[in-house]
Amino acid sequence: MGSYQEKLSILSEMIAFARVDHSLKQSEYQFLLGVASNLGVNKDTFEDLLREKSPKVVLKSQPQRIVQFHRLLLLMNIDREQHKKEINKLYNIGLKMGLPPAAIGQVLEVMHNYPNKVVPPEVLIDIFKAHYN
C-alpha cells in the first residue's frame, strides 16, 4: 500500500462518498472505521478526517484504483440502499480514476446478482482484466 498521505486521501474520498446523501449512517461509519484500521490509520486521525478532508492524492497504479473502486462499491451497499445519486457519483469517481467506463458499468450491473450486492473481488478483477485486454 502507498504512503500515509495516500491512505488519508483514500479515507477522505470514502467519507465524502458516504456523505453524498448528506448523512453518515452508523453502518457506514463502522465500515469506514474498519477500513481506517486496515490502512493503519488510528481512530483519532479518522475522526479528524470526518471534520476536515485530507488533500487529494492520485493513486498511481491501476490495481490501487480498482481496489479503491471496490471499497467505494462496498461502502455504497453497506446500508443495503442504492440511490441514483450514489450510483452516478461512483460511476464518475471511477471515470476520474481512469477506469474503463464499460467495466464500471458492468460492475454496477452485476452487483445485483450477488447477495447484499457484494461483488466478489475475483469477479471484479476479471471484469477489469477483460476490459484491459
Give the domains, in start order, of the chain with CATH numbers: 4-132 (1.10.3680)
- Higher-scoring residue by pLDDT: 79, 120: 120
Question: In this structure, what C-alpha cell is assigned to residue 91?
Answer: 460511476
Other C-beta atoms closer than 10 Å to the C-beta of 132 total: 9
Q: What angle do CA 103, 101, 61 make, to 5 degrees?
A: 75
Angle, helices 101-110 vs 84-96, to 10°: value is: 150
Mean pLDDT computed over 58-78: 88
Contact in structure between 46 and 34 (CB atoms under 8 Å): no
pLDDT, tens only, 73-118: 998 888 777 778 888 999 999 999 999 999 999 999 998 898 888 8
Contact in structure between 41 and 9 (CB atoms under 8 Å): no
Task: Indicate the average pLDDT of the chain.
Answer: 89
- How far apart, in Å, are the Cα atoms of 39 and each of 8, 49, 133? 9, 14, 30
pLDDT of residue 8: 94
pLDDT of residue 12: 93
Residue 133: pLDDT band (50, 70, 90) is low
Judged on CB neighbours under 10 Å (0-12, 13-18, 19+), 81 is exposed
What's the longest Cα–Cα distance across the chain?
A: 43
